Chains A and B, each alone.
Chain A
Amino acid sequence: MKDLGFILGSWIVTIGGMATFAVAMFRRARRDATVVPPEERPWL
């Protein structure tokens, strides 16, 4: 496939971007959750 590097690169950026955002978000949330008891989380 011609230009495979650019095409694959665009998909790596797409999926990698979403994954990195999600991992960073969960890390921060997990750290904050250690000081917030479950009863103060209305979604649970």
Chain B
Amino acid sequence: MTDSTAQKPREAARRDPVTGTRFTRVLGVACLAGLVWLFVFAFFVTPADVNQGESVRIMYAHVPGAWLAYLAFVVTAFSSAMYLWRRTRSLTWDRLAGASAEVGVLFMAISLVTGSLWGRITWGTFWTWDARLTTTAFLFITYVGYLAVRGLGGSHHQRARRSAVLALLAVLEIPLVHFSVVLWNSLHQEASVAGNTDVTMDGLMLFTLFLGVVVFTLSYVWLVLHRQRALHLRDLVDETGLDRALEARRAEAASS
């Protein structure tokens, strides 16, 4: 027999939406459906590539992952600029910057790992100190550092200010990563779709690549929405903890 009084708060906690809304639930379902659709197309519908063979199936995750990491870091820089600008200064911008950077680091890690597995098949090695690979790894480490800086002590506004400055500097690395294949003699191929007016890719493969970008973008929006709300909760918990500590200190001072 279960204790109904103990069961009730647990039931309520399970039903508590926490960071979810109707919009995020619909978006979450769309992301899941999109990921299944992308997986089916990547594995069972698109043909093998003439040059890359079956390894092209990795590209449908690798390329959108890299693009989404760029997008996430640009959003981080934009939100940071909005925070630093006096007229729009709000911790909401700071939390958006932090959430976007976290998701960007996730996508960058996905891009690095999938790229490494693709490299093992195509180049015969997991890693080489090529210009694109090295600058990408450097970008990844920079944003891991950015997240570490966010975790340092101080008030929420101190955290926001120092990380905003860092985000505006870190975003300057993106053009360096993107154009590294043009600036240096690189093993990595140049852009085959973006900025290319003569795309020779098979229509179905091109569609799957775009599908990947759309699905990853939806997933990015879903993750960032939830994450920035989770960061809002964290900030409130920090404030509550600080208020309690101050109250305890005042009570201690009054009693002595």
Contact = CB atoms under 8 A, between A and B. Distances in A.
Given A3-B121, A14-B65, A32 B237 contact: yes
A15 B35 contact: yes
B150 interface: no
Contact of B16 (A15, A25, A33): A33
Contacts, number: 102
What is the predominant secondary structure among interface residues of chain B facing chain A? helix
B237 A36 contact: yes
Interface string A1-41: 11110110111011101100110011011101111101011
A13 B219 contact: no
A5 to B, nearest CB: 9
A34 B14 CA distance: 11
Contact of B61 (A6, A11, A34, A35): A11
Nearest to B225: A43
Given A2-B53, A6-B55, A28-B230, A13 B110 contact: yes
B165 interface: no
Interface residues of B, number: 40
B61 A22 contact: no
A7 B55 contact: yes
Contacts of B232: 41-42
Interface of B: 13, 16-19, 21, 35, 39, 42, 53-55, 57-58, 61-62, 65, 102-103, 106, 109-110, 113-114, 117-118, 120-121, 219, 223, 226-227, 229-230, 232-234, 236-237, 240
Interface of A: 1-4, 6-7, 9-11, 13-15, 17-18, 21-22, 25-26, 28-30, 32-36, 38, 40-44
